[in-house]
Amino acid sequence: MKKSLISILVIALFASMSPAQAATKTSTVIAAFKTFLDQTEDSLQALQEKNGADLAILASTLAKETLQANQIYDSKVNEASALYSPQISKLKESIQLGLSKYNASNEIEFLSIQYFKGWGFWFDCAAKLPTCGNDDEEYRFYPGDRVKTRNGETVNMSPITFVEEKVANGQWRLLNPTDFQAAAVILRNDPKELKRITTEFDNVNVTAEENKNMTINQITTQISMEIKDLKKSFEIEREKLSAQEVAAKLAILAAKRANKDPSIFDAAFVVAYKFEYNRRMLGEIADASWTGKWTFRTIDSILKVNKLAATGDSISARYSRTTAAAFNSAVGNAFTNEPDFRAVLKVLNSIYKKTTNTTLRF
């Protein structure tokens, strides 16, 4: 009598969930995780779009700031050019006129006998002496001899100074002293002023370019840091959502697997989910180049990984809860004890409990 009662209770326990109820629970769980999957995929899409938009804004900001820096530079250069270019042109013109005036008034007359060796350095003597400029040639000038001195230069004032010294000590006489002195004043002062103005102009341009480069470098560095932070945040969120996406897909598959054991659907779901997760992780390791990243005690060699992966594939083709549970035991908690698994599990459990009013026991 007791034996019959126990048998009746056992039969009643296993029959407590009808096939229709089991099918309903399976479809309810699948629908819940399908909704979660759709939401996660939408979130991933939105995240990617937002990341693209944020990157575009930063790129636009960099382009705008760079353009503005270049515009400021162009403005400074144009202002400097407007200020200095007319002065430089005027001074160059004045120097050319001074040279012309000097070259037209630099003829001198000797007042005493003088000897010169290599005298071509000081005099325009080609027409007077074929060997003019020969350092070994010596020539004697007599009172009354006239010759033009070497043409004036803006970089070497020695000819002018030399003429003035000879005139001052009574050795020479300028035939056109007024124009000569006027030209000498121009050639002494204007080249110096031209150098000063040109240096100022160059300095303004250099400073403008340095400021432009500094501004561009600063904004580039700033934007680069913001892009780096944005990408980092994006990757963290993307990985989180990608993990949720995988979890949703595995949960849908696990629900289908658990439907084979309707009387213990919740426990079968846990076994199936852990099986699919372990199988997926083993597959990633087996398919990837070995890096030594996975150093779990239960997976101590690539050969064991490959063997377990092959076993998982075999079980998947002819799935049963008992073989899946055995597979999970062989893998151990190498993957299911990791923070990534536990983080997603919280979301998974929350959806399952909300859907079935049951807390999963992993």
Q: Look at residue 7 in the predicted model and tell me its pLDDT.
A: 39
**Nearest CA to 109 among 61, 54, 171?**
171
Residue matched to tokens 């035991």: 329
Q: Look at residue 334 in the predicted model and tell me its pLDDT.
A: 84
> Over the stretch 234-293, which tens digit does the pLDDT of each residue have?
999 999 999 999 999 999 999 999 999 999 999 999 999 999 999 999 888 877 655 555
76 CB contacts (<8 Å, ≥6 apart)?
204, 207, 208, 211
Q: Where are the alpha helices (DSSP H) in the chain?
A: 2-14, 19-104, 158-168, 177-258, 265-287, 302-317, 321-331, 339-356
Q: Is residue 152 part of a domain?
A: yes
Q: Is the pLDDT of residue 155 over 90?
A: no
Let me know the angle formed at the C-alpha of 30 by 14 and 312, rounded to the nearest 5 degrees. Answer: 80
Average pLDDT over residues 180-202: 94
Q: Is the pLDDT of residue 12 over 60?
A: no
105 and 179 in contact (C-beta within 8 Å)?
yes
Q: Is residue 169 part of a domain?
A: yes
169: DSSP letter: T
Across the chain, mean pLDDT equals: 86
**SS3 (DSSP) at 108:** strand
With 0-12 / 13-18 / 19 or more C-beta atoms within 10 angstroms meaning exposed / middle / buried, residue 125 is buried
Structural domains in the chain (count): 1
Q: Is residue 39 part of a domain?
A: no
Report the C-alpha gap between 265 and 172 in whole angstroms: 125
Q: Is residue 143 part of a domain?
A: yes
- At 177, the amino acid letter reads P
Q: Is residue 347 part of a domain?
A: no
With 0-12 / 13-18 / 19 or more C-beta atoms within 10 angstroms meaning exposed / middle / buried, residue 157 is middle
**SS3 (DSSP) at 132:** coil
**SS3 (DSSP) at 148:** strand
Distance (Å) of CA 85 to CA 74, 76, 187, 206, 356: 15, 13, 20, 16, 85
Q: Look at residue 326 in the predicted model and tell me its pLDDT.
A: 95
**Nearest CA to 67 among 219, 225, 223?**
219
DSSP output for 244-307: HHHHHHHHHHHHHHHTTSGGGHHHHHHHHHHHHHHHHHHHHHHHSPP-S----TT--SHHHHHH
Q: Is residue 210 part of a domain?
A: no
Average pLDDT over residues 163-180: 95
Q: Look at residue 129 in the predicted model and tell me its pLDDT.
A: 62
**Nearest CA to 177 among 123, 104, 120, 110?**
104
Average pLDDT over residues 100-127: 80
> Over the stretch 27-47, which tens digit does the pLDDT of each residue have?
999 999 999 999 999 999 999
Q: Is residue 147 part of a domain?
A: yes
> Over the stretch 45-100, which tens digit does the pLDDT of each residue have?
999 999 999 999 999 999 999 999 999 999 999 999 999 999 999 999 999 999 99
Q: Is residue 125 part of a domain?
A: yes
Q: Look at residue 8 in the predicted model and tell me its pLDDT.
A: 34
**Full residue range of the structural domain in which residue 140 is found:** 106-175
Distance (Å) of CA 301 to CA 33, 189, 294, 310, 315: 35, 88, 9, 14, 21
Q: Look at residue 296 in the predicted model and tell me its pLDDT.
A: 46
Average pLDDT over residues 194-213: 96
